[in-house]
Chains A and B, each alone.
Chain A
Amino acid sequence: MNKLFFIIVIVSFFQTSLLAGGGWPQPKGKAYLKLSEWWLVADRHYTDTGLTDPNTTMGIFNTSLYAEYGITNKLTGILYFPFFSRNYMNNVISRTTGETLIEGEAINALGDIDLGVKYGFFQNDKVAISGTLLLGLPVGKTNAGRDGNLATGDGEFNQLVQADVGVPFNLIKGISTYANAYFGFNNRTNDYSDELRFGGELGFGFLNSRIWLIGRLTNVASLKNGADASTQTGTSIFANNTEFNSYSIEGAFYLTKKLGVSVGYASAFRGEIILAAPSYNVGVFLDLK
Chain B
Amino acid sequence: MRYSFFILSVIVSVLFTACIGDDFIDDFVEPVVRLTTIVDNMEEGTTFQFEADYFNNIGVAESAAMEWSSSNPAIISITNDGFASALAMGTSDIKVSVTKNGETVEAIKTVAVTEEATMIVTSRDGTLQTTSSYLLQGDFILEENDQQELVLSFSDNYAASTALPGLYVYLSNNPNTTSGAHEIGAVEVFNGEHSYTIDSSIDINDYGYVLYFCKPFNVKVGDGALSN
Q: Which residues of A contact B (CB under 8 A)?
A: 35-37, 39, 43, 45, 47-49, 51-59, 61, 63, 84, 86, 88-97, 101-102, 104-106, 147-149, 228-230, 232-235, 239-241, 253, 255-256, 259, 261, 263, 272-273, 282-284
Contact = CB atoms under 8 A, between A and B. Distances in A.
B26 A283 contact: no
- Give the dominant DSSP class at A's interface: strand
B196 interface: no
A61 B17 CA distance: 10
Contacts of B11: 35-37, 63, 282-283
B121 interface: no
Q: What class of interface size applies to chain B in its complex with A?
A: 35 or more
B7 A261 contact: yes
Interface string B45-64: 00000000000011000000
B218 A284 contact: no
Interface stretch (B82-90, B98-106, B140-148, B156-164): B156-164
A283 B57 CA distance: 49
A284 B24 contact: no
Interface string B208-219: 000000111111
Given A63-B15, A233-B216, A48 B161 contact: yes
Contacts of A148: 166, 216
Given A53-B134, A104-B22, A241-B163, 11 more contacts: A36-B11, A47-B163, A48-B161, A52-B133, A104-B20, A104-B21, A230-B164, A235-B216, A255-B4, A259-B4, A284-B4
B184 interface: no
Closest 8 CB pairs of A and B: A48-B163, A149-B216, A104-B20, A101-B179, A56-B218, A37-B11, A228-B162, A51-B133
B219 A53 contact: yes
Contacts of B20: 88-91, 104-106
A49 to B, nearest CB: 5
A229 B165 contact: yes
B63 to A, nearest CB: 17
Contacts of A96: 26-28, 57-58
Contact of B165 (A37, A90, A234): A234
Nearest to B12: A37
B100 to A, nearest CB: 14
Contacts, number: 164
Nearest to B18: A61
A261 B3 contact: yes
B119 interface: no
B5 to A, nearest CB: 9
B166 A233 contact: yes
A167 B77 CA distance: 92
Contacts of B132: 47, 53
B120 interface: no
B24 A282 contact: no
Given A54-B219, A230-B187, A235-B216, A284 B7 contact: yes
Contacts of B58: 94, 96-97
B15 A37 contact: yes
B202 interface: no
A232 B165 CA distance: 6
B218 A53 contact: no
A88 B18 contact: yes
B10 A89 contact: no
B23 A90 contact: yes
5 contacts: A96-B58, A149-B166, A235-B165, A261-B4, A272-B163
A55 B133 CA distance: 12
A251 to B, nearest CB: 12
B117 interface: no
Contact of A147 (B15, B18, B22, B216): B216
Contacts of A56: 23, 217-219
Contact of B14 (A95, A102, A282): A282
A259 B7 CA distance: 12
A189 to B, nearest CB: 17
Interface in B104-158: 132-134
A254 B57 CA distance: 60
Contact of B7 (A45, A90, A97, A283): A283
Given A96-B28, A228-B162, A43 B23 contact: yes
Contacts of A53: 132-134, 219
B82 to A, nearest CB: 29
Nearest to A262: B7
B15 A273 contact: no
Nearest to A96: B28
Contacts of A240: 165
